[in-house]
Structure 1
């Protein structure tokens, strides 16, 4: 039986260009009708495409499938298939993790919508965090100026290691904001953060450039739309003022975690302690 290129394409859900590509790669070949010069394919070529499609259905690429159909040794074929099985299992596990991360993030967004802009008491999970050097100034007790850090090769190397380690853990690593009250003013520093449990599971190796924030049981929590300017954190500083007027004291850095990037919404934890 003879098949024209359009018929082959229809059989396998390909375009005519797709059939031509298979021929160009040498996976199949066509014949010319002596009477009308039409290109056609015989049953052998259709069977060859079926074999390739079989392996593609098992997860092999076109190139891999084309190699497999030529393997005659069953042991070699088994090795290739076991290797693909392992590869697919790894991909499935990665997909499950992505689905889990999506569910967790959509759950946070849903909870944030229910919360609105009100403040509730909640614990802050233990976190690791790195800050943007340029946002930290000489007033900070625990950090030096950015230029001094960058000029020190050991510090610079550790910074790059920390950045690389954090980036490898996306999407568990999220953009973060730090708000630190000092000398009657507020320092704002951008950065990234990851919960301690995720960091341990993913093998993050903290160094001198990574700040650790232990679990804090007494925090005011809300989801706030903020900016990096002083007026952009007004809702937060107003809450601090309200705390202090009611006998409560800020007890550490205010940590924010990006929730909805397009609208600059952050989860905010304000740690506090009661003075009386």
Structure 2
């Protein structure tokens, strides 16, 4: 019994084509690194805009073309400039100002009574918030106000209009991934259906269908996109449709060639011999 059991061959477990492709992919370190990196970029682009402190459309007029920084804005040398600009909109003069921690105290004066509603000019500034009137002279010509310094972080800096580049980069990554994936799906669906139909039909139908592909090949991609934008305007859906409408040409040729390279199976020939149609 021991000899018989020893001669029994071990069970061989087969591996699918997907399993074989995954094994070869894991054996390539550069490919696996690229896969992990792409997955990280995808996760950051999809979920990152929800966690950044700024919206990608918000404009900070006081922070135009700011360099990247790990520390908060405004810097120490920017507080006086921001305060002067805000007070200038009130049409009053600064008598004195001082900073205590994260708060600034400023005393302003004017030749006419100062309206208490002028504190909104400090709140409108990107550098200050929670403005209050601390004291006011009996004649109303001199007012002391306090405001909290609003700390803003721009890790990637800001652009020419004062928008946060980090949030805009993450949003651009999300849109790029969406267009790439959707355009790929559109290209695969159109290309497989069109190429398989041409290869299956054969003859004159195949010739006509593939000449249409050749004509589309001759059109410049950028011209095609410009034409779509002119007729339909700017649209997110239009972008991936334009890309997918051009990428399917290669897929159609590949699928057609595969369809033509497969000879009719015997069961198809038998069905045809018995009078079966296409």
Q: Which has the higher contact order (CA 8 A, sep 6+)?
A: 2
State the TM bucket, normalised to the shorter chain: under 0.3
Higher relative strand content: 1
Higher relative helix content: 2
